[in-house]
Amino acid sequence: MKKILVTGAAGFIGAALAIRLLKNGENVIGFDDLNSYYDTNLKESRLRKIVEVSEKSLGKWKFYKSSLENESSLKDIFNNHSPQIVVNLAAQAGVRYSIENPSAYIQSNLVGFSNLLEQCRNHLVTNFVFASSSSVYGGNKNLPFCESQAVDHPVSLYASTKKANELIAHSYSHLYGIPCTGLRFFTVYGPWGRPDMAPMIFAKSILSGQPINVFNYGRMKRDFTYIDDIVEGVYRCCYKPAYIDNEFNSLNPNQSTSFAPYRVFNIGNSEPIELLRFIEILENELGVKSIKNLMPMQPGDVESTSAKMNLLENWVDFKPSTSIEIGIKKFAKWYLNYYKIRI
């Protein structure tokens, strides 16, 4: 039984990972500030689900309510539990919200992230896995996105903080030998998802007969990736720490690897679809047609995303495979059940 700290444990991905780890019999320490960026009732429901699973599994669960910016709280947790593996899924999320409230991103995604790495350094953590984002590819239009490509042109503050996380983690990996793995998530969706993301927004509006805002006139393409596939990728990386690439060429550096124990991987479905097609599948599963408000693209957004997945597949023998049709069917079923909606 390993001691694994999961930050953002009440979040969409964090809760799902905690459940996966508990089912594997691990000692999971959950950490989340339960902030009000979106409905805290949903976060608390996720935590109750985790408790239910922990009571039926061989794993152990302990939860702490605090923020990464709170250094003393982090110190107490590391002193009391000495986690061997740390998975950072805590962050201020949302591209558009970063335009409205930039200070929240600086505090959580930069100050908080650095605080966490300091504790990893002081307590000899053997594996640090952290959430990056496909948004780091920014203005790049060379699809599919590949980890060896430069990510120097972010188009949102959120993306900038995720790129900064990768750089900070590399510094700690080089200076202190902490194995660090960054995972660039591509448009995660599924049951227990975030209310500020398109699937939840669309489902709520469609079922209430309200129009949905469809940006870039529906022509945007996203590499929608089902939650179970994301979790499986993170889970496998927990048990394979990054190590030094002995073939790293400092004269022609590869962005995805290093002379330090550091790696960066995409996690995406590699099958981008147009937003209008996503809406069509969701309409079919909900049995209701949407009212579309076609609009131009928003600031901070990108037109298309697509993940090249060979690096992660070679690393942990896994790549996402859930089709958009199956994923939306599962999401719609959960949504109707969770919100007690009959159609």
Residues assigned a catalytic role:
158
Answer whether 111's CB lies under 8 Å from 163's CB. Answer: no
Which residue, among 182, 74, 180, 68, has the nearest Cα to 127 in the 3D structure? 180
Going by their DSSP bridges, the two strands 188-189 and 27-32 should be labelled as: unpaired
Strands in the chain per DSSP E = 3-7, 27-32, 60-65, 85-88, 127-133, 180-185, 188-189, 211-215, 221-222, 225-226, 262-267, 273-274, 291-295
- CA separation for the pair 236, 286 (Å, rounded): 33
Query: Quick one: 247 exposed, middle or buried, by C-beta within 10 A (0-12, 13-18, 19+)?
Result: exposed
Answer whether 269's CB lies under 8 Å from 312's CB. Answer: no
Answer whether 185's CB lies under 8 Å from 148's CB. Answer: no
Residue 198 per-residue DSSP state: H
DSSP letters spanning 35-73: -TTS-HHHHHHHHHHHHHHHHHSS-EEEEEE--TT-HHH
Residue 37 contacts by C-beta under 8 Å, 6 or more apart in sequence? 92, 93, 94, 97, 196
Burial 209-240 (b: 16+ CB within 10 A, else e): eeebebbbebebbbbbbbbbbbbbbbbebbee
Residue 102 contacts by C-beta under 8 Å, 6 or more apart in sequence? 157
